[in-house]
Structure 1
């Protein structure tokens, strides 16, 4: 199997405190790798180490089969990045900013600037200086800068911050296109788990500086657990009937009106019929699948599904 990016027992210590602990990631060529974790979990720190912005305390990073060192200038030219918020020359236009970036990177295909601006829907902004851009426009320009030089690996830290739903959908489709059609490998973090679920091939979940899971989305879908969710105005009586009449024990009371049933050997219709016979009013009953958000939260809760 061909890996574009690997980390081996990556550790980062600040003031004697270990903030990243023995992280070993494996990112395959051409895939979209969704990097998930709560605020402060260590996602940005790891991305900064991968892009040589900060140095690991110990451990190794391997990109394109080569160990990352202080002098890996040619390796880094093959990357496109957004780490935290993109910064620009505010008085210059989008095109002028990208032109300077290409000069800095030693990349002289000027047509690539037009293509990048078109891909992120910033083509018709004429001579508008970046200082007059909205947050969403700056995020788009940051992505344009990251892809202008046709990188083999994109490192994107929260790239859809500040975008409206239409903009988020456009960039989701762009990232999928870059991966599938151009073979670009993408490491992307986001708090919007529904978006990662729709685009990622693999996810890595980090918490308290430790990588607690690395798993393919196909594997999550194959092992997806369905559950029945019902809304009632008499939760106490409903749980009594579930336990004593239907002999269901694998259920969770989410709040005063909502119950989730994880039993897989009894149908929704049997549950509904039994509850109605027992004069329980059911406002809603649906069969749902555990989402990436449910899976993510279960990992953070030690492997148990939580409301």
Structure 2
């Protein structure tokens, strides 16, 4: 197995508190690795250590087969990054900002500037200073800056913040294209689980500074199960009917008046009929398939799903 980035017992202590605890990540060459976790779980801290913005307290990071050190300049040249909110020279245009970036990166292909802007959908902005950009436009420019030197590894911290649904889809397609056609490995964090589900090959889930799961999306998809989700006005009575009238034990009550029924032998019609005959109002009923969100919430909540 060829790994482009690994961490070995990566640990960070701030003010006497261990915020990252012995994290072992393995990012394969040529894949999109989705990095998931609640706010404050440690995703950004780990990405900052991977890009030499902060130093680990203990443990090691290996990128392109080399241990990351204070003098890993050539390693960093092969990476593109967005960590937290991208910062620019606000009075300059997008092209001028990218030109400066290429200068200090030692990258002198001037045609790459317009190509990068085209890839992220920034057009007709030649004379517009960055200070007049929307949040979404700045996010796009940050991605353009991260990819302009055609890096081998992209590390992207919440890169689709501030984008509308159309923009999110455009960048999702862009990341998949960069991975497939350009061979760029991408480590991406996001709180939009549905987006990660549609692009990631592997996910790592972090909670309270600890990596609690690293698994391929193929394995997660193999665990997907169908269920019937029903919303009712009286949960207690509905549970009684499921257990005593229909003989169903394989179900889960979740918040906001929903019940998920995992018994494949029962139909939506049978359930609705039993509830209606027993004066339980059915507000909605549908067949669904468990998702990455369900899997994530189970991990974070220790096995309990909360809607």
Instruction: Tell whether 2:108 aligns with 1:108.
Output: yes
Instruction: Tell whether 2:262 aligns with 1:262.
Output: yes
Instruction: Tell whether 2:224 aligns with 1:224.
Output: yes
Instruction: Tell whether 2:106 aligns with 1:128.
Output: no
Partner of 2:248: 248
Distance in 2, Cα, partners of 1:281 & 1:89? 59
Note if contact 2:255-2:306 (Cα within 8 Å) is conserved in structure 1: no
Distance in 2, Cα, partners of 1:256 & 1:241? 19
Partner of 1:177: 177
Shift of 1:240: 1.4
Aligned length: 307
* Shift in CA distance, 256/294, structure 1 to aligned 2, threshold 3 Å: closer
Partner of 1:139: 139
Distance in 1, Cα, partners of 2:256 & 2:305? 18
Distance in 1, Cα, partners of 2:15 & 2:305? 36
Shift of 1:64: 0.8
Distance in 1, Cα, partners of 2:305 & 2:264? 15
Partner of 1:21: 21
Partner of 1:158: 158
Distance in 2, Cα, partners of 1:305 & 1:11? 29
Shift of 1:235: 3.2
Distance in 1, Cα, partners of 2:67 & 2:256? 55
Partner of 1:194: 194
Alignment map for 1:72-83 (pairs within 5 Å) = 72-83=72-83
Give me the CA root mean square deviation: 1.5
1:181 alignment partner, SS class: helix
The runs of 5 or more residues in structure 1 that have no matched partner are none
Shift of 1:261: 1.4
2:114 alignment partner, SS class: helix
2:182 alignment partner, SS class: coil
Partner of 1:10: 10
Note if contact 1:235-1:256 (Cα within 8 Å) is conserved in structure 2: no
TM value normalised by structure 1: 0.95
Distance in 2, Cα, partners of 1:232 & 1:59? 51
Shift of 1:297: 0.9
Instruction: Tell whether 2:94 aligns with 1:91.
Output: no
Partner of 2:237: 237
Note if contact 1:90-1:130 (Cα within 8 Å) is conserved in structure 2: yes
Distance in 2, Cα, partners of 1:240 & 1:151? 59
Q: Deviations over 1:33-83 (max 9, x none)?
A: 110111110000000000011110111111111111111100100000000
The runs of 5 or more residues in structure 2 that have no matched partner are none
Distance in 2, Cα, partners of 1:69 & 1:235? 57
Partner of 2:298: 298
Shift of 1:123: 2.7
* Shift in CA distance, 39/234, structure 1 to aligned 2, threshold 3 Å: closer
Distance in 2, Cα, partners of 1:248 & 1:158? 42
Q: Deviations over 1:103-127 (max 9, x none)?
A: 1000011111110000011132011
Distance in 1, Cα, partners of 2:226 & 2:151? 40
